[in-house]
Amino acid sequence: MIERRRGLTILSHAILLTGVAIVAFPLYLTLIASTQSAEQIAQSTPMSLWPGGHALETYRTALFGGATSAGTKIPGAASMMWVSLVSALIIAIGKIAISMLSAFALVYFRFPFRNVVFWMIFVTLMLPVEVRIGPTYEVVAGLGMLNSYAGLTVPLIASATATFLFRQFFLTVPDELVEAARVDGAGPMRFFKDILLPLSTTSIAALFVIQFIYGWNQYLWPLLMTTNEEMYPVVMGIKRLIGGESFTEWNVVMATAILAMLPPALVVMLMQKWFVKGLVDVEK
Amino acid sequence: MEKRVRFVSAWLPWVLIAPQMAVVLVFFFWPAGQALYQSVLSEGIFGGDTLFVGAENFERLFADESYLESFKTTAVFSLLVAFFGMGLSLLLAVMANRVVRGAGIYKTLLIWPYAVAPVVAGVLWLFMFAAPMGIVSFVLRALGIDWNHLLNSNHAMTLIVVAAVWKQLSYNFLFFLAGLQSIPKSLIEAAAIDGASPWHRFWTIVFPLLSPTTFFLLVINVVYAFFDTFGIVDATTHGGPGKDTAILVYKVYVDGFKAMDMGGSAAQSVVLMVIVVTLTVIQFHYVEKKVQY
Amino acid sequence: MASITLNNVVKRYGSGKTANQVIHGVNAKIDDGEFVVVVGPSGCGKSTLLRMVAGLEEITGGEIMIGDRVVNDLEPSERDIAMVFQNYALYPHMNVFDNMAYGLKIAKVPMAEIEARVAKAAKILELGEFMKRKPRELSGGQRQRVAMGRAIVRQPQVFLFDEPLSNLDAKLRAHTRLEIQKLHRELGITSLFVTHDQVEAMTLAQRMIVMNGGVMEQFGTPDEVYSHPATTFVASFIGSPPMNLLSNAPDSEPGTVVGIRPEHLDITPGGWALRVDALEMLGFERLIYGRWQHGDGDEMVIVRSDEAQPVPELDSIIHVTPRADRLHTFDAATGKRLSANA
């Protein structure tokens, strides 16, 4: 910064640390709760801020399911996490693949109705699935895609975000590179494979992070789409654990929450650099 | 922006856009058309006796107290979320932009809630506000506030606002930080040489230059509060007490899938579409202006 | 190797009323093995012309031939050309070897031959030690050489250069100019070189095409272009400082413009009287900016003088005499050269 003001610097750190603490506190409580027993939590006012000794059994129950001491039957999170993982991967990879191809067509070809196509895709930017849940549900139901991975994922692939990121990136690729490739005798698909794809790795990585999280965190759509427990993603599973009439096993809920947060949080933290770049690029 | 050189092929571009167009047409235009179509129909519970009712669904909608109430709730909710979410994250971003040491670590520690699903954020905060074991509700009771979000609408609203702000903090923070970092250092240095204090510099130089980011985030936060917070509401208040936290998306869901009023739900969808399109057009218009500037 | 023939080449963007014609019927024949430079101010259509030869721009009208083949409808890769781009257009994710070899790989040249050809080009361009480096790890001059190498390995009939030196600093530019000349002597490949820099054009060209506003103003050797500019545009574009073009010179016929280069004005008693406006001392030479009064107003006249002459005072009056055999006469209306004087 411009001048050295010790007081200001200390204040900045203090504010940042407070911010970090506020952001992290719910996570800490979640972790703590997942190590205590359900009774411990339910009977304390407030709950203890120190770890309990029930971590192993809580996580075992959360992961693989079974009956708890209170008699609640817990569905295992492991299979739900698998559903989440598969859907998130299909959404992320599917989006990247189809939008990269369409962005390539939009940027590198001239064809009739190109502007119409462009606007048709652009309009989808505006309407998140939440806005059109009812009719989309009916379409998916009509196609017999309820309770299937296709139903969970394909309707969510219909978003323009990724197309626009790739379009923006392709527009920054120098024209002379295409020309050089043409002089070198490369056709469109060869150019795509040999030049464009390797140059897009950063964008691909960034989009992967964003779309993986988007896919993993879907809630409303699976809520409508799935009636079969085997097709429940994990974030839906958590909600079901607290939704029942029976006694809420908070320790299991919290352990499941940790399990549900872990994969996307890891992806964000490990791929932070790409993720931040991609996020800021997508929206600008 | 256009490319100077293009490949020439009569069929290849169509093959390339086919997958995206297929998905867009089947899962976007068809449902959106259906929504428009259904919004002017009335369907009996047993089906079959579908009637064209014109604008009746919309008239019914805007004559419905609870719908207007939901509109108001959504407006209040999104303004609160945008105001607190952006205020806090701007403060943090300014501080993170100031400090040299540890800036990267702060960033990492602040961005992870982006990865948390709204519904999980709702569960986390519900747990902290729950009685008797919730830490926050305990502290509040100790301060003499009889916390009960199941009965007190203000408490319920506070709960979903807090959860929504917490979840969105990281997103706002990243954009404000990127915005701050793109402000040329020389401007700030010039202001410092002119004798402006850090406080003064912020409000006269930094904040005005940040206005495109702020405006962008305002739109994004409102859209977020409108749509992405469904999970938070569903996990915490279920729209209650009464219907005091039933935001529009929640109401679409309840009316369409719980009450099975598809015509009314479709009309609500259409209203929501109009809102989003308006917001996007405003934003697009503004972004275009910004480009010229 | 091959000649390049341009027959009434026209380029138009758009059609109907909004059509924008940028090349107005260029005719030229570039001989086999010749080094021709196309020079002109920015926007004169010189790059468009080159890109039409390369096949990167469609030809609206006329015909382009490389050797005996009309290439109008051929893809760039089928025209047997190689091109060096202004920004080099190296593939950023490939190393130097792969950049040079890419076109050959696509053409399915056997690997052993690719390696031999790349090695040979690398030797000529002294790139041997950089083969495994990525473009971003190279200096500007090295990148430029890789771009040249990529062109050489293809062993084309024609080299096309699109302002390849404009991104180099002045010293490196002069050096690279010499290298390109040497390369052309060794390989003898027909070359078309586009630049906006008249020094580059004068030093590199065997013949040069001067373009302005999509029209070829003159096609000739550097000496012809300098000594016998075909139009007032060429007269003022080539040479620095530019030729004095006087519309009110003494003894000139009405409707003509008289041209005289600054170095062809001798300071002697008598002759034209000039008031000294400004002086530029450039070491061995001096430029005197004089103003010359005539009936309706005044005109600026630049005089190039040297150390042998005394330095005139500002605002003083000097007298200059043009060398009669170096006077050029142009038609004032068309700008075309009238005189055939020496």
The mean pLDDT of C35-57, rounded to a whole number, is 93
Of B183, B158, B189, B143, the residue nearest B80 (C-alpha): B158
3-state secondary structure chain A: CCCCCHHHHHHHHHHHHHHHHHHHHHHHHHHHHCCCCHHHHHHCCCCCCCCCCCHHHHHHHHHHCEECCCCCEECCHHHHHHHHHHHHHHHHHHHHHHHHHHHHHHHHECCCCHHHHHHHHHHHHHCCHHHHHHHHHHHHHHCCCCCCHHHHHHHHHCCCHHHHHHHHHHHHCCHHHHHHHHHCCCCHHHHHHHHHHHHCHHHHHHHHHHHHHHHHCCCHHHHHHCCCHHHCCHHHHHHHHHHCCCCCCHHHHHHHHHHHHHHHHHHHHHCHHHHHHHHHHHHC
Rounded CA separation B197/B204 (Å): 10
Rounded CA separation C149/C83 (Å): 10
Strands C81-84, C158-162: parallel, antiparallel or unpaired by DSSP? Answer: parallel
The predicted pLDDT at position B2 comes to 64
- B225, part of any domain: yes
In angstroms, the separation between the Cα of residue A196 and the nearest Cα of chain C is 10
Protein fold of C4-234:
Rossmann fold (3.40.50)
The predicted pLDDT at position B78 comes to 92
> What is the count of residue pairs from A and B with beta carbons less than 8 Å apart?
301
The predicted pLDDT at position A35 comes to 83
- A156, part of any domain: yes
Note whether A29 contacts B265, CB cutoff 8 Å: no
Nearest residue on chain A to B190, alpha-carbon basis:
A2
In angstroms, the separation between the Cα of residue B212 and the nearest Cα of chain A is 10
Residue B70 sits in a domain whose CATH number is 1.10.3720.10
Strands C20-30, B41-42: parallel, antiparallel or unpaired by DSSP? Answer: unpaired
Place of tokens 């084309």: C156
Cβ contact A279:A213 at 8 Å: no
The predicted pLDDT at position A40 comes to 75
Of A233, A236, A221, A227, the residue nearest A134 (C-alpha): A221
Dmax (CA) for chain B in angstroms is 77
C209 bridge partner residues: C38, C219
C290 bridge partner residues: C276, C301
Note whether C93 contacts A179, CB cutoff 8 Å: no
Q: How confident is the model at residue B281 (pLDDT cuts 50, 70, 90)?
A: confident
- B106, part of any domain: yes
How many angstroms from the chain centroid is the CA of residue C275?
Answer: 35
Q: Containing domain of residue B195, as a range?
A: 64-292
For residue range B205-262, what is the model confidence (pLDDT) as tens digits? 888 888 888 888 888 888 888 888 888 998 888 877 878 888 888 888 888 777 777 6
- B205, part of any domain: yes
For residue range B46-77, what is the model confidence (pLDDT) as tens digits? 555 667 777 777 888 888 888 888 889 999 99
Q: Does C89 touch chain A if contact means CB atoms closer than 8 Å? A: yes
Higher pLDDT, C187 or B132: C187
- B173, part of any domain: yes
The predicted pLDDT at position A1 comes to 47
Mean of pLDDT over chain C:
90
Mean of pLDDT over chain A:
84
Best mutation site among A175, A183, A203 for testing chain C: the one with the most C CBs within 10 Å? A183
The answer on pLDDT for C284 being more than 80 is yes
In angstroms, the separation between the Cα of residue A274 and the nearest Cα of chain C is 18
Note whether A176 contacts C87, CB cutoff 8 Å: yes
Identify all chain B residues contacting A138, using CB atoms and an 8 Å cutoff: 31, 34
Cβ neighbour number for residue B63 with a 10 Å cutoff: 9
Rounded CA separation B145/B140 (Å): 5
The mean pLDDT of C75-87, rounded to a whole number, is 91
For residue range A217-240, what is the model confidence (pLDDT) as tens digits? 998 888 888 888 888 888 888 888
3-state secondary structure chain B: CCCCCCECCCCHHHHHHHHHHHHHHHHHHHHHHHHHHHCCEECCCCCCCCEECCCHHHHHHHHCHHHHHHHHHHHHHHHHHHHHHHHHHHHHHHHHHHCCCCHHHHHHHHHHHHHCCHHHHHHHHHHHHCCCCCHHHHHHHHCCCCCCCCCCHHHHHHHHHHHHHHHHHHHHHHHHHHHHHCCCHHHHHHHHHCCCCHHHHHHHHHHHHCHHHHHHHHHHHHHHHHHHCHHHHHHHCCCCCCCCCCCHHHHHHHHHHHCCCHHHHHHHHHHHHHHHHHHHHHHHHHHHHHHHC
Token digits of residue C327? 């006077």
Note whether A186 contacts C102, CB cutoff 8 Å: yes
Cβ contact B24:A124 at 8 Å: yes
How many angstroms from the chain centroid is the CA of residue A211?
Answer: 5
Q: In sequence order, which residues have a C-beta less than 8 Å from that of residue B174 and are 6 or more positions away?
A: A276, A279, A280, B111, B114
Note whether A186 contacts C82, CB cutoff 8 Å: no
- Dihedral through CA B253, CA B258, CA B260, CA B261, nearest 10? -50
Looking at chain C, which runs of residues are DSSP E strands? 4-13, 20-30, 35-39, 61-66, 69-70, 81-84, 158-162, 190-195, 207-212, 215-220, 244-246, 256-260, 265-282, 285-294, 297-306, 317-322, 328-331
Note whether A185 contacts C103, CB cutoff 8 Å: yes
Cβ contact B235:B250 at 8 Å: no
Q: Does A8 touch chain B if contact means CB atoms closer than 8 Å? A: yes
Chains within contact range of chain C (3+ C-beta pairs < 8 Å): A
The mean pLDDT of A5-16, rounded to a whole number, is 85
Give the full edge-to-edge strand order of the sheet including C81-84. Answer: C81-84, C158-162, C190-195, C35-39, C207-212, C215-220
The predicted pLDDT at position A282 comes to 56
Number of domains composing chain A:
1
The predicted pLDDT at position C90 comes to 92
Token digits of residue B96? 């993170």
Chains within contact range of chain B (3+ C-beta pairs < 8 Å): A
Q: Does A239 touch chain B if contact means CB atoms closer than 8 Å? A: yes
Higher pLDDT, A271 or C339: A271
3-state secondary structure B92-119: HHHHHHHCCCCHHHHHHHHHHHHHCCHH
For residue range B151-205, what is the model confidence (pLDDT) as tens digits? 888 889 999 999 999 999 998 998 899 888 888 888 888 888 887 788 888 888 8
C32 by DSSP, 3-state: which? coil
Cβ contact B247:B135 at 8 Å: no
For residue range A137-185, what is the model confidence (pLDDT) as tens digits? 888 888 888 888 988 898 888 767 788 888 888 988 888 899 999 999 8
pTM value surpassing 0.95: no
Number of domains composing chain B:
1
Q: How confident is the model at residue B292 (pLDDT cuts 50, 70, 90)?
A: very low
Identify all chain A residues contacting B256, using CB atoms and an 8 Å cutoff: 133-134
The answer on pLDDT for C315 being more than 50 is yes
Q: Where are the domains of chain C?
A: 4-234, 242-331
Shortest CB distance from B116 goes to which of A107, A261, A276?
Answer: A261
Higher pLDDT, B267 or C265: C265
Token digits of residue B4? 């100077």
Angle at C271 between CA C266 and CA C274, to 5 degrees: 80
CB contacts under 8 A, A 37-96 vs B, are 41-42, 44-47, 49
Q: Containing domain of residue A275, as a range?
A: 78-234+265-283
- A192, part of any domain: yes
Angle at B184 between CA B183 and CA B185, to 5 degrees: 110
